[in-house]
Structures are given as structure tokens and as C-alpha cells.
Amino acid sequence: MSSQPTQKSKDLKISNKQVINPTILNEDKRKLSLLYIINRMERVSEKALTALIFEMKEKGMDLGYNFNNIGNNIFSHSLKEDITSLLYLGFIENDLKTKKLSLSNDGKEFLEKSQIEEEMKNKLDSAINDLKVKINAIDEEYNLKMKNERRLRNGRR
């Protein structure tokens, strides 16, 4: 009897992603608002950003994101995609150490040139000011979790 060698194969997974460029971004009010929010928050974790936009929606300021509640975690697939798009364009940065999002210089420059209506800016500013204490608490909780994880990893070495 001869045994045939088993072959391992890897499946190729193809997914479609919409190509984004800065000129298209000018017409996307949702991503512009997201850029503005990240700029106003200066440095914010993705979890806190998601909570902020969810809370804004709960208070009647819907930016167009749909949310799911998984356990005690709020998640938005469309928000995650928008964050990925802004990272891809280089308009936001993700600090590898703190895992916080912030605007890059290109993002700041783009935001200065973009056409966000003053009324929208005022609404966003008001919502951010109302929710900032709650969102900062979520961010601080996230910071503590990250420190504990780093401490555990370093302790195991």
C-alpha cells in the first residue's frame, strides 16, 4: 500500500472594499463628522469613540451609524470601517502603545480645508461637551486595562 502525501491548501478569501480618496471624503458628512470628533477629543480609544457616538445617537444626534450590543459591548461595523478608511488615508493615527486614535498632521490640514457646516460643528461640540466626562471615564478604564495587560505580559517574561 502506498500512502499519498496529504496536501495542505490555503483558501483565498476575497472581499470587496470601496476605494476611498480625499476628494470623496469631502462629500461624506459621516466621515467628516468623525474626523471632527476625533480632533475635538484629541486622543481617544476606539471603545470610547464608539461609546460617544452611540450616546450621541441615543440623545437624538444620529450620525448614520448602526450599533449592535454584544454583551456589555457596543459595536458598529460601519464605524469600524470608517475608522479603517481614515487610517488608510493617513488622516488619523493609532498610537501602538496607548491604542488611542488622534488626527495626523494630514488629517488636521484636511479638516481645516473641509466644508463642515457651522451648525453641525456647534451640535457636535455641544454633544461632546455634554458627554466628555462619561467618555473620559471609559477611556480611563481602558487605560487601566491596557496597563494591567502590559504588566501581566512583562511579568511573564
In a domain, 138, yes or no: yes
pTM: 0.79
In a domain, 100, yes or no: yes
Interhelix angle 118-156/46-58, rounded to 10 degrees, is 140
Q: What is the pLDDT of residue 109?
A: 94
In a domain, 15, yes or no: no
Based on the structure, what is the number of domains in the chain?
1
Q: What is the pLDDT of residue 145?
A: 81
Q: What is the pLDDT of residue 24?
A: 79
In a domain, 11, yes or no: no
Residue in the block written with cell 490640514: 109
Contact 146, 98 (CB under 8 A): yes
Q: Which three cell numbers stand for residue 70?
A: 454584544
The winner for highest mean pLDDT among 20-29, 85-94, 113-122 is 85-94
Q: Which domain holds residue 46?
A: 23-155
Q: What is the pLDDT of residue 54?
A: 95
In a domain, 16, yes or no: no
Q: What is the pLDDT of residue 144?
A: 84
In a domain, 90, yes or no: yes
In a domain, 144, yes or no: yes
The mean predicted confidence, pLDDT, of the chain is: 86
82-110 average pLDDT score: 92
Identify the CATH number of the domain in which residue 54 sits.
Answer: 1.10.10.10
In a domain, 69, yes or no: yes
